[in-house]
């Protein structure tokens, strides 16, 4: 559980920093407000994460374990994530008003620690496909909650009287650290 939380928090940090970072790395075109961008990323994650995690779990169980190719796990997971990202990009383009922008979108989704980490955790701990799927959905929801909370805090602090030395990345790190402390309270709730 704590491992998952840690993964999600680090993913949130990456997402948030990318959403408010340099223009080229922004995942979507013409979404200037950080909160709107976070909502769009949440939507994309909702598509990518469960699909990727389930596909990874299935591949790991039925292909890698069967043929004893466990050493291929990491690159295979990343490659599957790439496919899932491309799929979600096409889906978002055709059904919503969002306009995913390269390279920001693909990099964010593919290298997203949340997707990869959840895949590894699912493959290691979940015995059946159903459990893996539920684990993935739960992780995605957790990611969305944390991401939106983090970005909301960032938006609030934007207009605040922050000392110059703390503005931008230092404040984001401090906020993430405090959120982590707060969420550590959840550790140990679910006894395995």
Partner 1 sequence: MSLLLALLLMTGVTAVGGAASAAAARRPTQRAADLIDRIDDLLPQTQCRRCTFDGCRAYATALARGEADVNQCPPGGERTVAALAALLGRPARPVDPRFGVTPAQPLVAWIDEPACIGCTKCIQACPVDAIVGAPRYMHTVIAAECTGCELCIPSCPVDCIVLRPAPVDGRVQPSRGAPRVSMGAAG
Partner 2 sequence: MTGARGFHGGLRLDSHNERSTATPIRSAQAPPQLVLPLDQHAGAPARPLVRPGERVLCGQPIAEPDGAISAWLHASASGAITAIEPRPAPHLLGAPTLSIVIDNDGRDEPFQSDCIRFEQLAPSALLAHLARGGVVGLGGAAFPLGAKLASAARAGAIALLLNGAECEPYITCDDMLMRERAQDVVLGARILLHASGAVSCTIAIEEETPHAEQALRAAIEAAHDERIVLATVPNIYPGGGERQLIASVFGREVPHSGLPADIGVLCHNVATAAAVAQWVRDGRPLTSRIVTVTGDGVHRACNLEVRIGAPIAALIAECGGYTPRVLRLIMGGSMMGPALPHDDLPVVKATNCIVAASALDLQPRGGETPCIRCGDCAEVCPAFLLPQQLHWFARSADAAALQAHGLLDCIECGCCDFVCPSQIPLVERFRESKPLLARAAEQRADAAANRARYQARNERLERLAAEQREALARRRRPQARAERETK
Query: Which residues 78-117 are close enough to bind partner 1 by CB under 8 A?
Result: 79-80, 82-83, 85-87, 89-90, 93-94, 97, 99-100, 102, 106
Whether 139 and 115 have beta carbons less than 8 Å apart is answered as no
DSSP 3-state of 77: helix
- What does 190 bind: partner 2, partner 1, none (CB cut-off 5 to 8 Å by kind)? none
Closer of 6 and 91 to partner 1 (Cβ): 91
Helices 2-19 and 169-183: crossing angle in degrees, nearest 10, is 160
- What does 161 bind: partner 1, partner 2, none (CB cut-off 5 to 8 Å by kind)? partner 2
Whether 23 and 86 have beta carbons less than 8 Å apart is answered as no
**CA torsion, ordered 92, 119, 117, 1, to nearest 10 deg:** 110
Examine residue 67 and tell whether it contacts partner 2 (CB under 8 A). no
Please give the Cα distance from 18 to 12 (Å, whole number). 10
Residues ≥6 apart with Cβ < 8 Å to 95: none
Examine residue 30 and tell whether it contacts partner 1 (CB under 8 A). yes
Examine residue 23 and tell whether it contacts partner 2 (CB under 8 A). no
Examine residue 72 and tell whether it contacts partner 1 (CB under 8 A). yes
CB of 129 to partner 1, least distance (A): 19
Closer of 100 and 142 to partner 1 (Cβ): 100
Closer of 89 and 135 to partner 1 (Cβ): 89
Please give the Cα distance from 101 to 82 (Å, whole number). 15
- What does 148 bind: partner 1, partner 2, none (CB cut-off 5 to 8 Å by kind)? none
Query: Which residues 133-172 are close enough to bind partner 2 by CB under 8 A?
Result: 156, 158-161
Let me know if 130 is exposed, middle or buried by CB neighbors in 10 A (0-12, 13-18, 19+): exposed
Q: Which residues bind partner 2 (CB under 8 A)?
A: 156, 158-161
């Amino acid at each position: 559980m704590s491992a998952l939380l840690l993964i999600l928090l680090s993913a949130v940090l990456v997402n948030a920093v990318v959403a408010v970072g340099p223009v080229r790395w922004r995942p979507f075109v013409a979404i200037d407000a950080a909160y709107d961008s976070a909502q769009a990323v949440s939507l994309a994650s909702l598509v990518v994460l469960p699909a990727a995690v389930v596909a990874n779990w299935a591949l790991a169980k039925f292909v890698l374990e069967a043929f004893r190719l466990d050493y291929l796990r990491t690159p295979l997971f990343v490659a599957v994530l790439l496919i899932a990202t491309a799929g979600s990009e096409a889906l978002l383009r055709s059904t919503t008003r969002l306009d995913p922008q390269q390279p920001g979108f693909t990099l964010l989704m593919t290298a997203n620690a949340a997707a990869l980490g959840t895949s590894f955790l699912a493959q290691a701990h979940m015995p059946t496909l159903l459990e893996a799927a539920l684990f993935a959905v739960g992780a995605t929801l957790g990611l969305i909650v944390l991401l939106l909370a983090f970005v909301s805090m960032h938006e609030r602090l934007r207009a605040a009287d922050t000392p110059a030395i703390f503005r931008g990345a230092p404040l984001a790190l401090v906020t993430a650290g405090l959120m982590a402390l707060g969420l550590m309270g959840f550790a140990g709730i679910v006894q395995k």
